[in-house]
Structure formats: C-alpha cells, structure tokens
Amino acid sequence: MDVLKRALSCPKAELHVHIEGTLEPELAFALAQRNNIAFPHASVEALRAAYDFSDLQSFLDLYYACADVLRTEQDFSDLMLAYLRRAREDNVVHAEIFFDPQTHTPRGVSFETVLKGLEAGAAIAAAEWGMSTRLILCFLRHLSEEDAFATLELALPFIDRIHGFGLDSSEVGHPPSKFERVFAKCRALGKPVVAHAGEEGPPAYIVEALDLLKVSRIDHGVRAVEDAALTHRLAHDRIALTVCPLSNVRLCVFEKMELHSLPSMLAGGLCITINSDDPAYFGGYLGANIRAVQAAFAFDATTWREFFRNSFDASFVDEAQKEKWL
C-alpha cells in the first residue's frame, strides 16, 4: 500500500475542529428552511462561492452569520452527527470538538439547547459506530473578559459534561493575557485548557498561552518556528500543536501548501497533529488535509505514523483508553 493510502486508512484522532465550522451549505439551507429563516444567500452554490477568504476575519464574518440557522436541539444534533459521519470516513475514531456558546446565546439559543443537541448527535455516533468524542468550550477572544466569565457561569450547571476550555476567534489584538483570570478559573475546575495561538498572531502569543493560560496544547501554532527559543521549548516539553493545513492556506497564513511551515516544524522536533479546523469552509475534512499535505511534501510513512500517534497521545482521554489506540 502506498504512503498516502496507509495514512488515510490509519485510525486517528481529530483534536481541532469547530462544530460550527462543519456546517455544510446544504445543511445550512435545510436548517434555514426548517426554522423559517430568510438566509442571505440565493443558493448553495452562491454560498460556496462566498468562501473566498483573505484572512481570518473575512472567514469569521461569514462563519458567525451562517451559524444563525442553528436554533434547536435537533439542529445541533444533526450538525454533530453529520460531522461524525463524515469524520468516520477518514477513520477518525476520536474527536475533541470545539463549540462556541457565545455565537448562540446572544441570539436567544440557550446554553442547554446547544449542549444537549451536540451530546445527542455524539450519542448516536457512539452507539452506531463506537465513535468517541469530547466537547471543548471555546471563549470568543474578540469579546470581553466579563463576557467570558458570564459564559463560564452558564456552563457551571453542566460542568461535568464539558471536558475542557479553549480560546478562538479574532487573534491579533486579543492576546491570551486578556483571559488569564478566566483560564485560571477553568483550571481550578480541574479542566485542561487549550488556546488558538500563533495562527495569525505572533510567537509571543504562544508564549503567553503557555505562561499565563497554562495550556496543554496549542491550536495552530504554525508561527512558532519564527522563534528558535520557543520552538526548542515546545519540543522539549512535548506540547502538541494542532495544525490545520488547509485552513492556513485558505486563510492566507501561507500563500500555498508548499510554503507551509510544517517541514520547519518537523525539523524543530515539534509534536504535530493534523486537523481540519472548519472543514465545511476550507475545502475538506481530515482526509483532504492529509491528501493536500502529502501532495506538497511527500512525507514518509514514519512521519504520518508519528502524526497519528501524537493525535492520540495529546488527546484528553485517559491513559487506559490511549493504550488501546496506540
């Protein structure tokens, strides 16, 4: 079997996927119709044509607008099940999935509706296909610390059902330090924390995420290699980086896949995992990311094995479960 086929067929974990970013145009239109919402795009094709991003913010504007079709528990369940059905085709056996309550609660969709819906979809995938999932609540960093604290309050009644906390949305101008106190409270609840850092933002944001938020993984982190001391630290401490190659190209972090920092990251000894981020918007799920990376870099079988091993190793499941997968 060639390297690509083996990489695609290997069992793997996905550690960086936003459930709202798995909303395919077809489902968005179906939900708009079901919920009687006038959707501001003429057709599925017109919506897809709008997926032409110049940077992170240009994507986020559309991503938040599309999320407006998600209203009911059933909508969130359908969204989760559709993602897991698709991820299974790429041999994902475990997924740690971000959700953004602040995208929904200001629209009048309750925290409980979001959580129960996502859990219902995940329960079907667990029963039907044995898929394992964890939910990670992400705070939107363009909003205030006060708003993040209020969201954490909303989460408290359900805290046993939330596995960890993360930080996403517009990075530049919203450094991790803004959420130092929120993350201290999340950690005091006994939860692991992660943060998007070094996607568009500078390596200094990765340092802040480590030192101030005390994250156990960095989401993206593709700019880490601009700082040799930071690269050495990440490698030495085996901090996993959840890299999303197609996302980075679609959001113009790199002009083309061949210019992605993955080879430098590997040369720096970093613990890399490959993920899809917002697959409905960026041209594909985990399998498409693997194909695009392999077309650009022709990594060997050992490198791919290492990526997938890292995905289980860096996951938040217990050691006994990891042993079964590794």
**Shortest distance, position 101 Cβ to ligand ADE, whole Å:** 13
261 binds, among Zn ion, ligand ADE, none (CB under 5 to 8 A by kind): none
Q: Is 16 annotated to bind ligand? A: yes
Question: Under rule CB under 6 A, which residues in 188-207 are in contact with ligand ADE?
Answer: 196, 199
Question: Which is nearer to ligand ADE, 14 or 168 (by Cβ)?
Answer: 168
- As a whole number of angstroms, the longest Cα–Cα distance in the chain is 54
Applying the rule CB under 6 A, the residues between 43 and 62 that interact with ligand ADE are 56
Give the residue, chosen from 102, 132, 133, 169, that forms a contact with ligand ADE under the rule CB under 6 A: 169
Least distance CB 3 / Zn ion (angstroms): 27
The reply to whether 20 belongs to the active site is no
Q: Which is nearer to ligand ADE, 56 or 212 (CB)?
A: 56
> Residue 195 — φ and ψ, nearest 5°?
-155, 140
Say how many CA atoms lie within 13 Å of 226 toward its Cβ.
Answer: 14
Residue with Cβ nearer Zn ion (221 or 287): 221
Q: How far is the CB of 157 from ligand ADE (least distance, A)?
A: 25
Contacts with ligand ADE in 85-144 (CB under 6 A)?
none
> Is the Cβ of residue 18 or residue 178 nearer to ligand ADE in the bound state?
18
What distance in Å separates the CA atoms of residue 304 and residue 220, rounded to the nearest whole number?
18
Decide if residue 277 touches Zn ion (CB under 5 A). yes
Residue 178 contacts ligand ADE per CB under 6 A: no
Round to whole Å and give the CA distance between 309 and 121: 26
The correct pick among 4, 12, 21, 265 for binding ligand ADE (CB under 6 A) is 21
Whether 139 contacts 167, CB under 8 Å:
yes
Radius of gyration of the chain (CA): 18
Contacts of 16 (CB under 8 A, 6+ apart): 96, 98, 219, 220, 242, 243, 244, 273, 275, 276, 277
Q: How many residues bind ligand ADE (CB under 6 A)?
A: 11
Q: What amino acid occupies position 238?
A: R
241-300 residues in contact with ligand ADE (CB under 6 A) are: 247, 277-278
DSSP state of 24: -
- Compute the least distance from the CB of residue 98 to ligand ADE, in Å: 7
CB of 199 to Zn ion, least distance (A): 7
Cα 114 to Cα 101: distance, rounded to the nearest angstrom: 7
What is the residue whose two structure tokens read 């992605």? 260
The count of other CB atoms within 10 Å of the CB of residue 72 is: 14
With beta carbons less than 8 A apart as the criterion, state whether 261 and 302 touch.
no
Residue 306's CB is within 10 A of a number of other CB atoms, namely 17
Catalytic one among 199, 200, 208, 258?
199
* Residue owning tokens 């870099």: 297
Listed ranges 40-48, 76-84, 233-241, 272-280: which one lies at the site for Zn ion (CB under 5 A): 272-280
Tokens of 49: 């044509």
Record the tokens describing residue 128, joined without a space: 């039907």
- Check the annotation: does 277 bind a ligand: yes
User: Binding residues for ligand ADE, per CB under 6 A?
Assistant: 18, 21, 56, 63, 168-169, 196, 199, 247, 277-278
User: Binding residues for Zn ion, per CB under 5 A?
Assistant: 277
Which residues carry out catalysis?
A: 199
